[in-house]
Amino acid sequence: MSSVKTAVFPVAGLGTRFLPATKSVAKEMLSIVDKPLIQYGSEEAEEAGISKLVFIVGRTKNSIIDHFDKAYELETELAMRGKEDMLKIVQDVVPEGVDCVFIRQPEALGLGHAVMLAQAAVGNEPFAVILPDDLIYNAEKGCIRQMIEVYEKHHASVIGTQTVSMEETHMYGMVAGPQIEERLAQVEEIVEKPSPEQAPSDQAIVGRYILTPAIFDKLKQTERGAGGEIQLTDALAELRNEEPIYAYSFEGKRYDCGSKIGYLQATVEFALQHNELAEDFKEYLKQLEL
Ligand code: G1P
C-alpha cells in the first residue's frame, strides 16, 4: 500500500492559450487521441496506488465533475446494446476503490491558493499534486510512482524537475542545489518564473509534487507573488527553511500540453502508439511527404 493516498489536481485555470476551444470546455478535458488530459493524470495517480482524487475546480469546469461521475443514461444504453467493451471504458474512468472529491476555487488566485483549498480533503498526510497540462509518459513506471519511492526513502517533499533551455526559465519555477544521488538533488534555491539572468540553474519544476502537509501552513502565510497569484513555489521556498526538499529528475517524457505545440506532439506520438490507429496513422504521415 502506498504511503501517499491522495492526489490533488488544481484544474481551475482558464486555459486562455487554447481559446476558443476552452471557452466552454475545460482545457483539462481536451483529449489526446481519445482520452482527456485529466484522465491521463488520474491514471498516473492510480498506478501509484493513490485512491483519493481531489479536484480543485473553477466555475467553468463542470465537465470535469461529469467525467468522474457515474453516467447512468450512457451506461444503461451501452449495457442494453450489449456494448460491454465500451461500458468498461466508461466505468474504468473511476476504478473500484477510488474516491473523487471536488472543491470549488471561487477566485483564480493561483496554484498555491488552489492547493491550500485541498487541506481538509488531504488531512495531515503527505499528498501528490498533479498538473494535468504536463503529460508525462513512462510505460514502465509513472512519474508519481517514481516520486513516491523517493518520498518513502527520504520522508520529505519531492518536486519533479527537468532541464530546460535558459530562454524558458520565465515559464517555470526553477530550482538549484547539490546532487545527492542519481536523479536527486537537495533544493537550496527555488524561485518562480525568473528571468534567465536570475535563474539559479536550468532545472525547471514540472507539474508533479509530493508534499508534506507542513506546506499548508506556509501557503496560508504566502502573499501574492509572480503574476499577482499565490504561488506554490513561494510556499516551498519558506518550507525549505524548515524541512529538506528534494528535486527529482524523473524518468519519462514530458509533453507541455498547456502549449499548442506540446499538445500536438503528444497527439502525434500517442496516436503512433495507439493499438487501433498506429499503422494507419503511420501510413498517413508517410504520404504527407513533409
Ligand atoms: C506552474 C508552477 C511552476 C511550474 C509549472 C509547471 O506554473 O507555478 O512553478 O514550473 O506549473 O508546469 P504555470 O504553468 O501554472 O504557470
| Ligand 1 atom with the shortest distance to the CA of 206 | 6
| Ligand 1 atom with the shortest distance to the CA of 133 | 12
What is the pLDDT confidence band of residue 1, given thresholds at 50, 70 and 90? Answer: low
Among 109, 136, 172, residue to substitute to test ligand 1 (most atoms within 8 Å of Cβ): 172
Q: What confidence score (pLDDT) does residue 125 get?
A: 97
Nearest CA to ligand 1 atom 7: 172
The Å distance, Cα 173 to ligand 1 centre, comes to 6
| Ligand 1 atom with the shortest distance to the CA of 172 | 10
Does any ligand 1 atom lie closer than 6 A to the CB of residue 233? yes
What is the pLDDT confidence band of residue 92, given thresholds at 50, 70 and 90? Answer: very high
CATH number, domain containing residue 221:
3.90.550.10
Note whether residue 1 is domain-resident.
no
Number of domains in the chain: 1
Note whether residue 43 is domain-resident.
yes
Note whether residue 47 is domain-resident.
yes
Note whether residue 209 is domain-resident.
yes
Q: How far, in Å, CA of 205 to CA of 235, rounded?
A: 14
Q: What confidence score (pLDDT) does residue 230 get?
A: 95
Mean pLDDT of 137-165: 97
**Grid cell 496554484 in the structure block, residue:** 111
Q: Quick one: which H or E segment has residue 205? A: strand 203-211
Note whether residue 183 is domain-resident.
yes
CB-side neighbour CA atoms (13 Å) of 145? 18
Q: How far, in Å, CA of 282 to CA of 23, rounded?
A: 32
Note whether residue 263 is domain-resident.
yes
